[in-house]
Structure formats: structure tokens, C-alpha cells
Amino acid sequence: MNLRFWGVRGSIPTPEPDRLRYGGNTTCLEIASPGKTDAVIIDCGTGIRAFGEELLRREVSRIHILLTHFHWDHLQGLPSFAPLFQPGVEITFYTNRPADEARRLLEIQMAYPFFPVPFAEVGSSTGFRHIECGQAFQTGSITVEAFMLNHPQSAVGFRAEADGQVLVHASDHEWGSEEIDAGLIQAAKKADVLVMDAQYTPEEYAGKVGWGHSSYAHAAEAARGAGVRRLLLFHHDPDHDDDFLDSMLADAMKLFPGTGMATEGEVLKVGDCA
């Protein structure tokens, strides 16, 4: 199972030159193997635009999109996702909201006068599947299970497994709810890779309590508790340039040596992570 980051930034895109080494697009991840007829995606941030062009080149006809939640930075790339407008392409959205509600929410961001093409008139065939936390489901060849996260207006994380390899995605999440944190740790037990919200330093978090995001120290605590092989810090703050992220990573590695920084364009073989 491969993991590729198409967008790693939180809140808003950052096109500034000093933020491009780690990446300036908002969140979008691919969890699949290149060349297969199915593609599995987590979230539709601005990174999904470039991914869409890649999917057209691959001639992928079935696309599965796992939505963590409906905040703007996780959806804002969808109107620029080329496969959405291609006849013959099947796109299924998986969310923890009822199917009719999820469709309505996506229709809103493409409604007049925000976008010239209504969601109802896109060329692809779109479907919505309501998922429930704790109940496994299939997306192509990957088995997925959702779990709750601590975030304003709710969000879910995903545990994805294929061929004995486990990837866990936990963004957006604020550490500190005993019950929800325990669920995250359980979902991530012995995972090969944990991709986790680490938007803040511990000092920054002290002034951001209740905002729905964690520090790198929280992410390290989760990684230790779950016994994961590799932790990737994710959902980078738009105010953090590449040098600042370098310093965050150095400090995080002191707490959990197997820490890395999620980087746009990076491709990882999940089973090879050490």
C-alpha cells in the first residue's frame, strides 16, 4: 500500500516561496497503488487539483473519496478536480453524515454565484455512502474503518489496511478528550504509519485550546501510546515556514524518534516504514 501526499497544509493554502519545500496545498492524501483502476483519496483540499490531472493520465475510472469533515480547507479543491467533470468516471464520497445531507453540503460550495457549474451538472457519476465509526467497509482493495476525532462540528479519522499494512489518518484532532483519544490510540495500535494533526508547538497550543488541533507533543504521545512504527506530522499551520517546520520536527523527534514531516509530493510504501 502506497501513501502519497498531494496537500499537507491546514486552514488555507500558502503559496509563499518559504513554505513550498514541505508544501503549500491544503489536505489531500492518496492511499492506493499507482496503476490500479481504483483510487482512494482522503479529503479534497487544494492538493486534489494536481491529483485530478494525474488520475486522468492514469485513466482511473473509479474514485473513492473519504471525507474527514466539511471544513473549507478539506473541500476547497473539489471544484477544480478534473475527474469530477468526466463522463464515465464513478466517484463515491464516504462521510459520517447522511448521504442526502452530504450531497447538499457539496452542492452549496458550487452553487450560484460561487461557481459556474452546479454540482448536479458535473459529468461524472457521483454517489454518497454514509459510514459509521467502528464499522469496516471496503474502498477498492483497501479495508477502512472510521473513528471519531475531537474537532469543532465533528470530524473522523480513518484506519486503512491492505495486505497486512496499516495506515491511520487522524486530522483534524485536538488531543485532550480521554474517550476520543483512547479511540484514536486503539485505531492506531501497531500501525505502520500514523498521520496526525500537529499544527502547533506546545507553546502555541497553550493559546489555541479549543481550536480543534494538536501539538507535535500530543502527536508523539499518541504514537507512543499506540506503538506505531512511523509518525508523520500533518496539517501544517499556514504561519509556519519551512525552517520553522524543520525546528518542530527536530523537537518532535526527541519525543518520538520515528517522527517525520508530511511533505507534499512524497510517496511512501507503508509497509517499508521503519
pLDDT at 254 > cutoff 90: yes
pLDDT in tens, 46-76: 999 999 999 999 999 999 999 999 999 999 9
Q: Starting at the earlier edge strand, list the strands of the sheet with 28-32.
A: 125-130, 90-95, 62-66, 38-42, 28-32, 2-7, 267-269
- pLDDT value, residue 33: 57
pLDDT in tens, 159-168: 999 989 999 9
Query: Residue 203: which of 169, 172, 235, 247 has the closest Cα?
Result: 247
pLDDT at 106 > cutoff 90: yes
- pLDDT value, residue 179: 97
Measured from the Cβ of residue 100, the count of other Cβ atoms closer than 10 Å reads 10
Q: What is the DSSP secondary structure assignment for residue 61, as one 8-state letter?
A: -
User: Mind listing the domains of the chain with CATH numbers?
Assistant: 2-264 (3.60.15.10)
Residue 86 near residue 124, CB atoms below 8 Å: yes
pLDDT at 94 > cutoff 80: yes
pLDDT in tens, 68-92: 999 999 999 999 999 999 999 999 9
pLDDT in tens, 206-232: 999 999 999 999 999 999 999 999 999
Reported pTM: 0.96
pLDDT at 274 > cutoff 80: no
